[in-house]
Each structure stands twice: as C-alpha cells, then as structure tokens.
C-alpha cells in the first residue's frame, strides 16, 4: 500500500483515483484554488461536480491550504493541473516536493520557444530551479476521465527517464481496465499527445462544415478521414522535427481519435466549421479557455519560427496554419484541400 497525493482535483486526476483506490492505496486528493467547490462537495458525499461521478468512499480530500499536510509521507505525487496551471504547479507545488518521491503528471500541452523548439511540460518543469532534481514522469494517451471512472478499457503510456520508477508507477495504477505502456521517450509521448488537441479541432472543422451545408447531424466520413489522415501526416512531421521516436506517434493518434469523439476541442472545431467566428464560438462555449486553441497557436508559431530558420517547410503544415489563421486572424474556415495533396517520391 502506497500513499498517493493527487494535486489538482480536476476530472482527469479524479478519474485516476479509481484504479489507484481499487488497488488498495491511500488516496489524498488536493484541490487547486480553482477546485474549492469540487472539494467542498466531495467532502459531503464523494460526488465530483465536473466529472459527474461519485468517487470511492475513503478518499481523503484537502483544500489547497492543506497541501503540505497531504504531501507529508506521500510515496508518489500525481500532478493533476490543466495546461493553464503549469506555472502554478511550478511555483506552488514543485518547491514543496522531495526529490526522492516520484511525480507523475496528467497535464497535456507544450511550450514553444522563440527558435521554434517545442518543450513538453516534464522537461519544462525539470528546467526550473525547484524541479531540476525531481523525478518527473507523465501520462499520455487516449483516456477520457469519465470513461476511466466507468471502468471502460483504457490504454495509456507512462513516460519518464527512469525505468524502475516507471515499473513502480505502473504497479500502483495497473488494473484489469487501465493498461499502461512504458516509454522513456518523454518528449515524444508528451508532444504527440499535446499536438493532437489542435488537430482534433482541425478535423472537427469538417464535421461542422458538413452540418453547415447539409444540416445538423449529417455526417460525411470521407472528409473526416481525410483531415484525420492529414493531421497524422502533420503530427508525424512535427515529431520528426522534434527529433523524437516515431513509435511515440501512436499515443497521439489514439488520443486524436478519442478527442474527436467528444469534448471541447471537437465542439469548438464544429462551431467554427458551421460558420461561427472564433469569438462567437468561444461565446457559445461560455467563454471557456480552450487548450486546443492554445496548442494550435503555439504549434503554428513554432513551425513558423522553424521555417524562418530553414528547419521546417510551411508547405508541410497547411491544416495547422489554416486553423491558426481562423482562430488568430479571423479568417473564415476554408479547408486548404489542395495543399494537402503531397508528393512522396524517393
């Protein structure tokens, strides 16, 4: 039995309490400043307000002020913040951690540097003063938190630099419904699953376009599959530019598949495809901050920076750049179909 302290009580971290609790571990779930109401309600009856599921009875809940108490004696720290909490996690959590306690995070995203280098979050945290000596690991792959909570069969990758740590983490979380591959290609796995958010929005544009032309609920699979294929093409090229292993692509591809099936990245893409401007679409989604928009913007900026330096060819990324034009320059959706026609001659 291990003591597991989850920091961040959002949907994904809270979903992860299911396999961990069922394996007999002590679970301490700590809310961020944004999770106050979630923790209040969990303390009443274990019902999670945004996950819309009831967590296992026996989990210990903590508000953010109680974080240090929750960290004390923990065997593993699970980072559960969203990509908008990356710096909060760096500033408020990492300094409180002990270097011999492994950390594993569910945060998906990427930071682009001025030269176009794309930095995954574990590497970003490792580059901070408080993070440099920590044992940082991460979870990528196709997993929606509600279906994990419902014990649907789920397939993810744990990535990190130390094989023994990964085996230990796998033993803690593995269940007959939560399947864990291991990889030491941290940058590959993390970039792959980060990039997919922007592309899920991109594929969803054509779902919205079909609805605009033929009516809500109408579906065409050829055009969806076309943009799915183009997305995988561009993701594969981005991973090549990042110098990571091509086998890590599959976690992003699975994640792209599940993200197109539902969630905010799909909804914003569908709305844009139906003809709403980005501002209108955002308004319809109640002004929610959208990770897909952030990642698409950063990826496009990285590609442009690499292209300026002669390291990338803009012609390889027509879909990404179009999405960027739509969300950041107010361009109407007009899929650059012709630009997706490529030549592969050797």
Annotated binding site for NAD(+): 145, 264
Binding-site positions read: 145, 264
- Contact flag: residue 137 with its own copies (CB under 8 A): no
- Contact flag: residue 236 with its own copies (CB under 8 A): yes
Structure tokens given for 330: 């107010």
Of the ranges 34-42, 61-69, 116-124, 173-181, which one interacts with its own copies (CB under 8 A)?
173-181
In which residue are the tokens 């929750």 written? Answer: 70
Residue (23 or 63) nearer to its own copies, CB: 23
Number of CB atoms found within 10 A of residue 215's CB: 8
Candidates 9, 249, 290, 306; binder of its own copies (CB under 8 A) is 249
Residue (52 or 152) nearer to its own copies, CB: 152
Of the ranges 102-110, 137-145, 285-293, 302-310, which one interacts with its own copies (CB under 8 A)?
137-145
Residue (81 or 249) nearer to its own copies, CB: 249
* Burial category of 239 from C-beta neighbours within 10 Å (exposed 0-12, middle 13-18, buried 19 and up): buried
- Contact flag: residue 329 with its own copies (CB under 8 A): no
- Contact flag: residue 23 with its own copies (CB under 8 A): no
Give the C-alpha separation, 346 to 344, whole Å: 7
Residues designated as active site? 196
Which x/- pattern, by CB under 8 A, does the window 259-298 give for its own copies? --xx------------------------------------
Residue 210, SS3 per DSSP:
helix
Of the ranges 108-116, 250-258, 271-279, 286-294, which one interacts with its own copies (CB under 8 A)?
250-258
- Contact flag: residue 185 with its own copies (CB under 8 A): yes
Give the C-alpha separation, 168 to 75, whole Å: 11
Give the C-alpha separation, 288 to 282, whole Å: 7
Phi, psi of 111 (to 5 degrees): -115, 130
Hey, which residues between 194 and 213 contact its own copies (CB under 8 A)?
A: 206, 210
Which x/- pattern, by CB under 8 A, does the window 213-232 give for its own copies? -------xxxxxxxxxxx-x
- Contact flag: residue 192 with its own copies (CB under 8 A): no
| Residues sharing a CB contact under 8 Å with residue 74, sequence separation 6 or more, in sequence order | 3, 4, 5, 28, 101
Residue 49, SS3 per DSSP:
coil
Structure tokens given for 95: 């300094």
Give the C-alpha separation, 272 to 45, whole Å: 39
**What is the H or E stretch that residue 297 is in?**
helix 291-308
DSSP string, 87-145: HHIIIIIGGGS-TTS-EEE----EEE-TTS-EEEHHHHHHTSTTTTTS-EEEEESS--H
Residues that bind its own copies (CB under 8 A): 141-144, 147-148, 150, 152-155, 157, 163, 174, 176-177, 179-185, 206, 210, 220-230, 232-233, 236, 245-251, 253-255, 257-258, 261-262, 335, 337-338, 340-346
């Amino acid at each position: 039995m291990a003591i597991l302290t989850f920091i961040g009580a959002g949907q994904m971290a809270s979903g992860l309490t299911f396999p961990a609790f069922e394996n007999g571990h002590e679970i301490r779930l700590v809310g961020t400043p944004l999770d106050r109401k979630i923790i209040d309600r969990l303390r009443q009856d274990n019902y999670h307000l945004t996950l819309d599921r009831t967590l296992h009875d026996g989990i210990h809940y903590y508000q953010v002020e109680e974080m240090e108490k929750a960290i004390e004696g923990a065997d593993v720290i699970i980072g559960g913040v969203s990509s908008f909490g990356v710096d909060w996690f760096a500033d408020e959590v990492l300094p409180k951690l002990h270097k011999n306690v492994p950390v594993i995070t569910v945060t998906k995203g990427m930071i682009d540097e001025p030269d176009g280098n794309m930095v995954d979050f574990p590497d970003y945290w490792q580059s901070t003063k408080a993070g440099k000596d920590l044992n940082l690991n991460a979870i990528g792959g196709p997993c929606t938190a509600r279906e994990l909570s419902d014990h649907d069969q789920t397939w993810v990758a744990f990535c990190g630099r130390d094989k023994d740590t990964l085996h230990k983490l796998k033993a803690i979380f593995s269940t007959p419904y939560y399947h864990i591959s291991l990889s030491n290609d941290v940058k590959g796995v993390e970039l792959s699953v980060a990039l997919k958010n922007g592309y899920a929005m991109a594929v969803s544009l054509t779902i919205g376009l079909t609805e605009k032309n033929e009516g809500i609920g109408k579906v065409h699979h050829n055009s969806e599959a076309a943009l799915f294929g183009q997305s995988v093409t561009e993701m594969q090229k981005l991973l090549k530019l990042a110098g990571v292993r091509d086998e890590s692509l599959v976690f992003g591809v699975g994640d792209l598949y599940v993200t197109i099936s539902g969630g905010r990245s799909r909804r914003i893409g569908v709305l844009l495809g139906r003809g709403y401007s980005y501002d209108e679409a955002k308004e319809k989604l109640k002004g929610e901050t959208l990770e897909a928009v952030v990642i698409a913007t950063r990826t496009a900026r990285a590609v442009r920076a690499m292209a300026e330096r002669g390291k990338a060819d803009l012609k390889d990324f027509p879909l990404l750049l179009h999405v960027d034009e739509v969300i950041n320059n107010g361009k109407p959706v007009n899929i650059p179909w012709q630009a997706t026609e490529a030549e592969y001659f050797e």
